[in-house]
Amino acid sequence: MAVPVIPGSSRTQRTRRRGGRRLLLAALLLPLAVGCGNTGGLVSAGPTPTASGPVHLWPERKGADVPPADPGGAPPEYVPGLPPVTDQDVHAVDPVALVQAELRAYPDKSVGPDGMYPETAAAVLACGTPGADPAKCPVLAPYYRDLTGNGKDELVIGIEFPDRMMSVRVYTADPDGRLNRIMATTETVVAVELAGRDVILRVPSGNPGYELITAWSWDEKQRSMLPTREQIVRVAPKPPGSAGSAGSAGSEGPSRAGAPVGAGGR
């Protein structure tokens, strides 16, 4: 038989105190239980400041007109004085005769894509003449690669200049047989590479221990090869006397177009 609880009695007060303690203990344990069950959840960091957009200062001022950047490449140019190229086959083109034709078309030119030192021009014109030393011909053996994506090889020619400078030129043949020069640049070249459909030039950057790598790519809109990517990379110093180091004399120099060493490769 249950004993009735009389309001105001000592038993009633003790019951109320025990109930109050239970409610307080439950309130203290609830945050711990929630925290243990939601590890990794989002926790409020408090109120965030209201975001404000940019403010345009002096809106009435007229902005400057910036001209488009110079792409830096040479415009395509047809080479005069050469017989038509059959079936766009640049393998049949004599690289020495090609450079000589350009020299005759632009005599005494020392700057620009056709610029050449007088001593280099004289050496080019002497290539293939009776009594000339083929090893002294500045025109290097050509290379061939489809750089325009038309399914036909282009012709890549290098011309050695004094002071380790070099002229790198690329030619393609049009369907009508005209030979079109689509790249011409002169640099102090460390190395030239073909990667996919790009011509890669490595030149000193001006800071010791670094080189500037420039990728030249075919631009369909301008119909020429343009410098599209540049990167400065750190290079390890080469020991004195090693191949490619300054002042070293390798046992075998670069092959010349006039020398009987073949015609480069792909």
- Burial of residue 102 (CB within 10 Å: 0-12, 13-18, 19+) is buried
As given in the structure block, the two tokens for residue 15 are 């019951």
Q: Residue 248: is its pLDDT beyond 70?
A: no
As given in the structure block, the two tokens for residue 66 are 């910036």
| Distance in angstroms (rounded) separating the CA atoms of residues 254 and 161 | 13
Statement: the pTM of the whole predicted model exceeds 0.75: no
pLDDT tens digits for range 2-44: 444 444 444 444 445 555 555 444 444 444 444 445 555 545 5
| pLDDT of res. 160 | 95
Q: Are strands 154-160 and 198-204 parallel, antiparallel or unpaired?
A: unpaired
As given in the structure block, the two tokens for residue 31 are 């945050």
Helix axes 118-126, 95-105, angle to 10 degrees: 130
pLDDT tens digits for range 137-178: 999 999 999 999 999 999 999 999 998 899 999 999 999 999
* Cα–Cα distances in angstroms (integers) from residue 247 to residues 23, 109, 159, 162, 201, in the given order: 91, 30, 20, 14, 21
Q: Residue 78: is its pLDDT beyond 60?
A: yes
| pLDDT of res. 142 | 96
| pLDDT of res. 46 | 61
| Distance in angstroms (rounded) separating the CA atoms of residues 193 and 260 | 23
| Distance in angstroms (rounded) separating the CA atoms of residues 261 and 97 | 17
| Distance in angstroms (rounded) separating the CA atoms of residues 15 and 3 | 13
Question: Model confidence at 179, in pLDDT bands (50, 70, 90)?
Answer: very high
Question: Model confidence at 45, in pLDDT bands (50, 70, 90)?
Answer: low
| Distance in angstroms (rounded) separating the CA atoms of residues 35 and 25 | 16
Question: Model confidence at 115, in pLDDT bands (50, 70, 90)?
Answer: confident
DSSP-assigned letter for residue 177 = S
Strand intervals (E) in the chain: 77-78, 143-145, 154-160, 165-173, 179-188, 191-195, 198-204, 210-219, 224-234
Which residues is 166 bridged to in the sheet? 160, 187
Question: Model confidence at 266, in pLDDT bands (50, 70, 90)?
Answer: very low
Which residue carries 């766009």 as its tokens? 88
